[in-house]
Amino acid sequence: MIFVDIAIFGAGALGCAFHGLTGFPVYSRRKAFQFKVTTPEKTVLGETIEGSPPSSFLVLNTQKLHDIKFYSPNTIYSQNGLLPFECDLRFLVYFGSNQVSKNEFVTKGSPKVVAVLRDTSILNLFRSLKIDLEDDQKKAEWKKLSTFLPIALVASLFDESNDIVLRNNEAQKKALLVYREICALSGLEPNEESFLSGITNHGSNINSLLQDLRSGRPSELEAILKPINSPLIRELATEITKKWKG
């Protein structure tokens, strides 16, 4: 594949973070707005473009999982969770981006991405990112879930930053239960020490699930959990729903 034009679709915290890291334009169905994003290296001012990117563009889609209805070619999918389809271009993000005010975002942690790609030539377009390759899409998605979901669920339950898992014994016990459950469901080899040490890289972040719950926006919780058959995780999700919706 040869692409001249690249665009980001989705003007949330992740979309604006990618703009700060790559400089690619941000398209959104919402009315255009100006924003500021601070990365570990610089602060960037930008303005979104109302509408969808042209069909000839390579699109980095940062929308929530519940907004993804079908597979589209020439699209890189970056959502948390297990996609309901096999795709040719998949990015799984291992850094955090917080929305600190209406139009201001802060990206924390090393901008690491794990990619599952049929054509690795597009990596030349993302030189500003550290990108590791994975051959198996589902395995890569489960690995990301094993790091994201235990922290997101527990931090959302406690209404705290990610490092609540390190600061509170009860939170840590709950997170480790979810972590072990995901490893058991996916066949991953658990490494609790590595899981906990990874939180120190961006533990003060507010994860995307909690950001949505706090703002009253629709969260990706149900879409992420739909393909995961776990009463333990479902019970925790029910607690979170009761806490935030009453």
For the record, the structure tokens of 159 come out as 């209404």
Last residue of a domain, one of 85, 113, 135: 135
Dihedral sign of CA atoms 222, 228, 233, 234 in order: positive
- 1 within domain boundaries: no
pLDDT beyond 70 at 69: yes
pLDDT given at position 31? 95
- 77 within domain boundaries: yes
Last residue of a domain, one of 103, 135, 167: 135
pTM metric for this prediction: 0.93
CATH number at residue 85: 3.40.50.720
The string of pLDDT tens digits covering residues 163-200 is 999 999 999 999 999 999 999 999 999 999 999 998 88
- CA–CA separation, 159 vs 51, rounded Å? 34
- 122 within domain boundaries: yes
pLDDT beyond 80 at 21: yes
Residue-by-residue DSSP string for 197-236: HHHTTSTTPPPHHHHHHHHTPPPSHHHHHTT---HHHHHH
Average pLDDT, the chain: 93
Same domain (yes/no): 223, 160:
yes
73 to each of 1, 55, 89, how far by Cα in Å? 11, 10, 8
Q: How many domains does the chain have?
A: 2
Same domain (yes/no): 112, 195:
no
The string of pLDDT tens digits covering residues 110-123 is 889 999 999 898 99
Give the CA angle between residues 163, 81, 108 to the nearest 5°: 40
For residue 155, give its domain range.
Answer: 138-245
